[in-house]
Amino acid sequence: MMKYKLLPHTNIKVSTICLGTMTFGRQNTEKDGHEQIDYALERGVNFIDTAEMYPVPAEATRYGNTERIIGSWIKKTGRRNEIVLATKVAGPGDYTKHIRTTGFSTKALNEAVENSLKRLQTDYIDLYQLHWPDRNTNKFGIRGYKHQNKESWKDNFNEILHSLDKIIKSGKIRQIGISNENPWGVMRFLEESKNNLPRMITIQNPYSLLNRQFEVGNAEVSIRENIGLLAYSPLGCGVLSGKYIQKKDEENSRLNLFKRFVRYSSEQSTEATSRYLDIAQKNNISLTKMALAFVNQQPFVTSNIIGATNLNQLKENIDSIETELSHDTLKEIEKVHELIPDPAT
User: Using one digit for the tens of pLDDT, what is the confidence trace for 314-340?
Assistant: 999 999 999 999 999 999 999 999 999
What pLDDT was estimated at residue 251? 64
CA count, 13 A, side-chain hemisphere, 286: 19
Could you give all domains of the chain from N- to C-terminal order, each with its CATH number? 4-204 (3.20.20.100)
Q: Name the nearest CA neighbour of 19 among 330, 321, 242.
A: 321
d(CA 40, CA 33): 11
What pLDDT was estimated at residue 151? 83
What pLDDT was estimated at residue 229? 98
| CA–centroid distance for 76 within its chain | 26
The C-alpha torsion from 311 through 123 and 82 to 87, rounded to 10°, is 50
Q: Tell me the pLDDT of the chain (345 aa) as tens digits.
A: 999 999 999 999 999 999 999 999 999 999 999 999 999 999 999 999 999 999 999 999 999 999 999 999 999 999 999 999 999 999 998 889 999 988 899 999 999 999 999 999 999 999 999 999 999 888 887 888 888 888 888 999 999 999 999 999 999 999 999 999 999 999 999 999 999 999 999 999 999 999 999 999 999 999 999 999 999 999 998 999 988 787 776 666 666 656 556 678 789 999 999 999 999 999 999 999 999 999 999 999 999 999 999 999 999 999 999 999 999 999 999 999 999 999 987
d(CA 127, CA 120): 13
- Whether the bond between 55 and the residue before it is cis, its omega within 30 degrees of 0, is yes
Q: What is the pLDDT of residues 116-145, one digit of tens each?
A: 999 999 999 999 999 999 998 888 878 888
- Which residues form the catalytic set? 54
Burial zone of 222 (CB within 10 Å; 0-12 exposed, 13-18 middle, 19+ buried): buried
What pLDDT was estimated at residue 261? 62
d(CA 284, CA 336): 18
DSSP string spanning 252-268?
A: TSHHHH-TT--TTSSHH
Q: Name the nearest CA neighbour of 131 among 85, 201, 181.
A: 181
What pLDDT was estimated at residue 255? 64
Q: Name the nearest CA neighbour of 313 among 17, 16, 4.
A: 17
**How many Cβ atoms are within 10 Å of 175's Cβ, its own excluded?**
23
d(CA 154, CA 251): 45
Question: pTM of the prediction?
Answer: 0.96
The alpha carbon dihedral of 8, 125, 322, 208 has a sign of negative
